[in-house]
Chain A
Amino acid sequence: SAVISQKPSRDICQRGTSLTIQCQVDSQVTMMFWYRQQPGQSLTLIATANQGSEATYESGFVIDKFPISRPNLTFSTLTVSNMSPEDSSIYLCSLATSVGSDTQYFGPGTRLTVL
Chain B
Amino acid sequence: AQSVTQLDSQVPVFEEAPVELRCNYSSSVSVYLFWYVQYPNQGLQLLLKYLSGSTLVKGINGFEAEFNKSQTSFHLRKPSVHISDTAEYFCAVDMNTGFQKLVFGTGTRLLVSP
Contact = CB atoms under 8 A, between A and B. Distances in A.
A58 B100 CA distance: 13
Contacts of B99: 48
Contact of B104 (A4, A42, A101, A105): A42
Interface stretch (A11-19, A63-71, A73-81, A106-114): A106-114
A42 B106 contact: yes
Given A42-B106, A43-B90, A48-B99, A102 B42 contact: no
Q: For the side of the interface on A, what is the size category?
A: 20 to 34
A42 B105 contact: yes
A25 interface: no
A104 B36 CA distance: 10
A4 B43 CA distance: 10
Given A41-B106, A42-B107, A102 B49 contact: yes
Given A42-B105, A42-B106, A45-B102, A102 B43 contact: no
A104 B90 contact: no
A104 B99 CA distance: 12
A13 B42 CA distance: 21
A55 interface: no
Interface of A: 4, 31, 33, 41-45, 48, 58, 92, 94, 96, 99-109
